[in-house]
Amino acid sequence: MMITLRKLPLAVAVAAGVMSAQAMAVDFHGYARSGIGWTGSGGEQQCFQATGAQSKYRLGNECETYAELKLGQEVWKEGDKSFYFDTNVAYSVSQQNDWESTSPAFREANVQGKN
């Protein structure tokens, strides 16, 4: 029993060291907006867009929910040379019902080489 207890802290330390060596930093950036509203008569929220505008461009003008999740990581480095890979996944829900399915869009994939 004593031998097992002495080996346990060593095993935990080795496992923590192995796991920390495998841990890799991932850069995270995100953006989200969601329009929430109601009408006094109990109807649907009224959404608007400025006359002649191609998009809504201002927070508060939208009824839908939109979000972007950006993840990036340096995937290779040797001396001063490196490669960095990042992605952008976005989704949008029009908020017409209590529950709506959504299909995420893979908006960007970018590789940067530094020398």
8 located within any domain = no
Domain that holds residue 90: 25-37+47-114
Model confidence band, residue 1 (pLDDT cutoffs 50, 70, 90): very low
Instruction: Give a yes or no: residue 13 inside a domain.
Output: no
**pLDDT one-digit tens code per residue, 83-99:** 999 999 998 887 777 77
Residue 7 lies in a domain: no
* Total structural domains within the chain: 1
Q: What percent of the chain has pLDDT over 90?
A: 32
* Contacts by 42-48, CB closer than 8 A, 24 or more apart: 44/96, 45/95
Number of H helices, E strands in the chain: 1, 4
**Would you say residue 109 lies in a domain?**
yes
Residue 83 lies in a domain: yes
Task: Name the more confident of 18 and 13.
Answer: 13
Distance CA 27, CA 73 (A): 6
Question: Do the domain assignments include residue 17?
Answer: no
CA–CA dist 49, 9 (Å, integer): 63
- With respect to residue 56, please indicate whether it lies within any of the assigned structural domains: yes
